[in-house]
Structure 1
Amino acid sequence: MSVFELLRHGDGVSRTVAALLLAMSVASWVVILWKAWLLRGGTRDVLRSITAFWQSASLQDAEARLQPVDRALMVLPAVRALNRLAQPAEGATLGAKVDRTQRLTRILRDALHAALRRLQAGQILLATVGATAPFVGLLGTVWGIYGALAGIAAETGGFTIDKVAGPVGEALIMTAFGLAVAIPAVLAYNVFGRVVGRIEAELEGFAHDLLGMFGDPASPEAALPPARPMPV
């Protein structure tokens, strides 16, 4: 019997388990492909963006340099926030009343958190699928074995292998489905977690360097250079 024949002959519980495993597989593969596209450059793009920033003549020059390099938008939001900070504060808002170091700390923290949210998006789903898919498949296995034993008990013509082969085969296929869904999710979660950890460390170091450079009013390098038009 093929997989579709086994599902066609299954009851509502087995079909529900199969549909749930299919939904989990589709969701996890969508996240895997999206994160593979997002992290395709890994730490390489982040390091190139940081290097391009320190080689720039001004903040506006750095923003222009980073636009073609920072494809995942990990470093560029912090540079844009620095450009906004270079402009004079307008209005009597609470944010404008704090000193520059506090405003710099806040905008760098917000930019870092936004980048980390993008990096960590989908990790919970992958971890959940990897942890629960085997148990969902096991549920289908247990239910299939229960159906096989119930069918044997209801038979009066004696035990034959063909009466139990179908339900047991369905039960084993459910276990295989659960493992097939869980294994790619767990592998992707571990691989992406290592890449995200390396990128997070680079971004935190970059934010710390920016705070040290622009946050100390007593330092001659602390003055944010004014935005200037790029030469045409």
Structure 2
Amino acid sequence: METATHPAQLGLAHFIAQADMLAHFLLAILLVMSVITWYLIVPKSIANWRMKKNAQAFLERFWNASGLAAVGDYLQKNGINDPFSHLTHHGLKAAEQFRGKTGARLIESGSEDEFLTRALRRAINQDTARLEYGHTMLASIASSAPFVGLFGTVWGIYHALVNIGMSGSGSLDQVAGPVGEALIMTALGLAVAIPAVLAYNFFNRAKRQMLSEVDGFAHDLFAFMSTGVRNNTRVDNDVPRVYVAPAVRSA
């Protein structure tokens, strides 16, 4: 008959030592999920903070600029660091490309407004994809981690009951320890899932708020750009003739 395990010996370390290969595999999965979650949370939080800071600086400079030419000079000097500057960059490039179009390419088809609309829409789509980076992974971890932990708990309870049955002792002190250890897997699953859920909700809300502001800014920018494209005099005086694409910097 196996000797009883002292309560002081029970715990996470004892559970890991007594676990089989499947339990170790599930623990490794939870560990990988946790590492991925925090790998996404920390850099993405820093990137969002920098993006908001750069967006505020650009919008302040944009609305205080003397014209679109000054905005273009600012972009060439400081680069693209946020969705607003990225949108403006695409608008200025579209204006420059439309003035030099040959009509031989499909992308050059359509009116001035359609040309600008396509350019701004592409920029918004690119920013949307960039802001949604990691969201699918966080949602997958948040939804699957509890079930991974629960599966480990069921597997651990099964083996604990088998061992108790083989020992021939079904007293409460013999059952509570192994079953309690098996519940550690459920706790670990929740510990992995909760940060992923909170991070997903936070980043998703920040994305919706940012895209809502970008969409409003796109309407204002479209009004400025479409007016400039239709008025040749304003284009010559306001939008730089040769607009060199600035270096794109990571947010």
**TM-score over 0.5 for the pair:** yes
2:195 alignment partner in structure 1: 184
Cα deviation, 1:159-199, whole Å, max 9, x if unaligned, reads 35565455323311111101110111111111112211111
Question: Which residue does 2:126 correspond to in 1?
Answer: 114
Q: Report the counterpart of residue 179 of structure 2 in structure 1.
A: 168
Deviations 1:86-112 (A, max 9, x none): 321246101123222111011100111
Take 1:39 and 1:57, find their aligned partners in 2: how far apart are those partners?
29
- Which residue of 1 is the match for residue 240 of structure 2? 227
What corresponds to 1:76 in structure 2?
Answer: 85
Alpha-carbon distance in structure 1 between the residues aligned to 2:158 and 2:62: 64
Unaligned regions of 5+ residues in structure 1, if any? none
CA contact (8 A) 1:60 1:83 kept: no
Q: 1:45: how far off?
A: 3.8
* Cα pair distance change 1:79/1:51, threshold 3 Å: same
Matching residue within 151, 155, 172 for 1:139: 151
Letter of the structure 2 residue corresponding to residue 83 of structure 1? L
CA separation in 1, counterparts of 2:13 and 2:103? Answer: 67
Unaligned runs of 5+ in 2: 1-9, 244-251
Tell me the residue number matched to 1:215.
226
Structure 2 partner of 1:35? 44
- Alignment length (residue pairs): 228
Is contact 2:153-2:183 (8 Å) kept? yes
Q: Which residue pairs with 1:201 in the alignment?
A: 212
Q: Root-mean-square deviation (CA), in Å?
A: 2.8
Classify 1:64/1:162 alpha carbon distance in 2 versus 1 (closer, same or farther; 3 Å): farther
- Matched with 1:54 is 63
How far apart, in 2, do the equivalents of 1:80 and 1:13 lie? 53
* Other-structure match for 1:15: 24
Closer, same or farther in 2 for the Cα pair 1:122/1:113, shift >3 Å?
Answer: same
Relative to structure 1, is the Cα distance of residues 70 and 49 closer, same or farther in structure 2, using a 3 angstrom cutoff? farther
The answer to whether the 8 Å contact 2:95/2:229 transfers is no
Output the TM-score relative to the length of structure 1: 0.85
Supply the AA of the counterpart residue of 1:210: L
Q: TM-score, normalised by structure 2?
A: 0.79
